[in-house]
Amino acid sequence: MLKGLKRVFSVFLAVAIVFCFMPSNAFAATDNADDIKYSMDSDETLDFDEEDFNDECEDVTGEVLDYVKFDLPDKDEGILYYSYDEDDNDYTKVSSSKKYYYEDRSPYISRVTFVPDEDYSGTLTIKYTGYDIDGDDCSGKIKITVKNKGSSGTITYKIDYDKDYITFEEDDFFDACEKIQGEDLDYVKFTLPDDDDGILYYNYDEDGDDNIEVGSSKKYYYEDRSPYISKVTFVPDVNFSGTVTIKYTGYDVEGDSYSGRIKITVDEDDDASKEDTITYKIKGSSNVVNFDEKDFNDVCKELNDKGLDYVSFTAPSASKGTLYYKYKNGEYSSVVNSSKKYYYDSSPYISDVTFVPSNSFKGSCEIKFKGYDVKGKSFSGYVIISKDSSDLSADIINYTGKINAAAYMKDSDFNNVCKKLMGSQLNYVTFTLPSSSFGTLYYGYNSSGNYTSKIKASTKYYYDGSPYLLNVAFVPANNVSGTVTIDYTGYDVNGLSYSGKIQIQLSSAGTTTPTQPGTLVSSKYFKDVDTSYSWAVPYIDSLYEAGIIAGTTSSNDKKLYEPASRVKRGDFMLILYRALNFKTSSTTTSFADVPANSYYYTAVQTAKALGIAQGTNNKFKPESYITREDAMVLALRAMNITSTTIPSGEISSLTGYADYLAISDYSKSAVAALVKAKIITGSDDNKLYPQGNLTRAQISAIIYRLKNM
């Protein structure tokens, strides 16, 4: 008995010793980090602070953070983006399978941004898992409180499915102004809705053909003068249902402004079903659709158990097409009128109604109609007209990849193809699986080779829902090179389908295929960076891939960079901020002429706090074009404060340039240092042009060289 007790005591003592001398972080993986808490207004965006995540990691594991993975929030709450730019619509969404690093490599935690849904307010929770430099993990939560700052400025309306428009009530705007400003309303200006949602008209006449559209720069007054708010009408597109939000700016009688929203819900017919829908396809060269009265009679019998007498049509949007009566080879008797009756078995006949699509017709067109049976009882239905999918040819989506490395899909690429082809947003795609000899499609694939699942041909992958299209990756088979083609079927939000292809060009290791000296190349991403900018292509494409620069506009769904355009001071600071990733915890206010809601505010504010941007009389002049010498001064300060120190140069060395006398005294040391470091090179005519403005092509070369010093 005594021996048994001694044995138990010995085991207990051994365990106790192990616990006493084991490192404090040995069991860290089982601990949870404290919540990371943020607060924001609903009209703001939130950039994550990487130090918050590192602090929690150090508290739990005792080591520095390496990277984190995020669980994605519900889309009704908001979306996580990487390198978010509110002025560029080509956003990259955060992936739940991707690693976001603390400080030593891309993609960075500090470039993750939360953008709340415009209708969301309250506190949401985003789970994350962090991993320290030893590979130990710590689980945590991000709690974000979103305050609905502008809710009192929101005016709501509802349009029932059988009504065609809504006219605004001026007192609604007056009440909103009083609640927000405490003053009487003077006038408002409207931000115009998308044409696919509907149009704002002034003094609208539903039977008129010359209605006047509301102007975004025009003032609409409360009551004392014309044009009046009370005569503004929203007419939804015939195909639109759901909620459209129209932003407006109100001005009180003291001249102070505020922002508000008008939310208009357009209801669908609650009784709508397949029985009340007639579908037609535009096929081949006929390019028109002639209505069949039997289709309408069948709908009437299905819904009312009686034969059809007549119907009346709601005219389709002109951007979709036109309804004509007795149409033939461009000639017609009349345009179909919504107030006119078209009969099943007497004149004017339903069978003589023809839909002629517009030249820009895409996707589908929905035409409402109202019918009456032979007993006078009414019913409602829809005619849906679409192009035969066999006539549709989708653009090929091209990707470049490396041998034996995963190539990730961009959901925005699929959506852009869908919008161009169908005229509407993408809903989901299904994939035709490639031969395993070429490679495999995975969902949630990460760099360590782990994945959530293999892609299934029967599964739908959504643009804006789970499972997300952005989490799809192609992993080539061992040593496969060349071009791999993958077929897919896309479905737009109207349920219409089309066929598409993805082509993945696999090359040997390296970010780009080596180019022979003297070879002229064009950008892989920007339509207007052609061979005339061959010298700048490597810089521009590399910075775009790193999320440092973005396109400016789109032309025919092709991204443009505008390489010859001059660069503004605010834009230069934003690009420098992204490239060098400088940050500070200082709450220094920004310059007086840098608005808090400007896209470059954080960059300029941080640069001011660090002493990079100094300005004059508390002004930075962000909208002025930056001179070459000012760019050199700012770049040198930024590098010396946040990154690699650039050695001083000899000012006397500048005398070798033909225009050295044009260099301002305050910038000579910066110019000399950057010339010595070969960040800045002279022109072919041996000039530096210090007073000249930088172009977007030139800035790409400078930023690339700074970033890669």
User: Could you report the per-residue pLDDT of 571-597, keeping only the tens digit for each?
Assistant: 999 899 888 887 765 656 788 888 888
User: What confidence tens digit (pLDDT) does each residue in 648-671 have?
Assistant: 888 888 888 888 888 888 889 999
Q: Does pLDDT of 704 surpass 60? A: yes
**To the nearest whole number, what is the mean pLDDT of the chain?**
81
CATH of domain 151-266: 2.60.40
Q: What is the per-residue pLDDT for 112?
A: 92
Query: What is the pLDDT at residue 538?
Result: 85
Task: Give CA separation, 78 vs 160, 182, 266, 357, 415, in Å.
Answer: 29, 31, 23, 37, 19
| Structure confidence by residue, pLDDT tens digits, 495-514 | 777 888 998 888 754 344 43
pLDDT tens, residue by residue, 432-452: 998 888 899 998 887 567 788
Position 189 pLDDT exceeds 80: yes
Look at residue 705 in the predicted model and tell me its pLDDT: 85
Report pLDDT digits (tens) over 528-551: 888 778 888 888 888 888 888 877
Per-residue pLDDT at 80:
92
392-507 has which fold? Immunoglobulin-like (2.60.40)
Please count the other Cβ atoms lying within 10 Å of the Cβ belonging to residue 345.
Answer: 13
**Greater model confidence, 159 or 674:** 674
Amino acid identity of residue 86, one-letter, is E
pLDDT (0 to 100) of residue 71: 92
Structure confidence at residue 336 (pLDDT): 93
In the beta sheet, which residues pair with residue 36?
142
pLDDT surpassing 60 at residue 243: yes
Q: Output the pLDDT for position 395.
A: 82
Q: Which of 81, 593, 115 is nearest to 605 (CA)?
A: 593
Q: Containing H/E element for 491?
A: strand 482-492
Is pLDDT at 260 greater than 90 in this prediction? Answer: no
Per the CB < 8 A criterion, the answer to whether 174 and 168 are in contact is: no
Pick the range with the lowest mean pLDDT from 11-15, 264-268, 387-391, 641-645.
11-15
State the average pLDDT over residues 95-111: 87
Residues in Cβ contact with 553 at an 8 Å cutoff, skipping those fewer than 6 apart: 560, 562
Give the mean model confidence (pLDDT) for residues 165-174: 91
pLDDT band at 553 (very low <50, low <70, confident <90, very high): low
Q: Which of 520, 529, 524 is nearest to 561 (CA)?
A: 529
Please say if the pLDDT value at position 349 is more than 90.
yes
User: Domain 274-390 class?
Assistant: mainly beta
Confidence band for 453, pLDDT divided at 50, 70 and 90? confident
How much of the chain exceeds pLDDT 90, in percent? Answer: 22
The pLDDT > 70 percentage for the chain reads 85
pLDDT at 630: 92
Q: 57: which 2 tokens?
A: 């990691």
CA–chain centroid gap for 219, Å, is 30
- Of the listed ranges 26-35, 401-410, 683-692, the least confidently predicted one is 26-35
Instruction: Return d(Cα 644, Cα 709) in angstroms, integer.
Output: 7
Residue in the block written with tokens 């000399």: 672
* 19 pLDDT higher than 60: no
Rounded average pLDDT over 325-349: 92
Residue 516's pLDDT is: 41
Mean pLDDT of 321-348: 92
Q: What is the CATH number of domain 31-147?
A: 2.60.40
Asked if 531 and 518 touch (Cβ cutoff 8 Å), the reply is no
The pLDDT, as a whole number, for residue 662 is 86
- Look up tokens 């005619």; give the residue: 383
pLDDT at 162 over 60: no
pLDDT for res 514: 39
Question: In the predicted model, is pLDDT for residue 568 greater than 50?
Answer: yes
Neighbours of 379 (CB within 10 A): 21
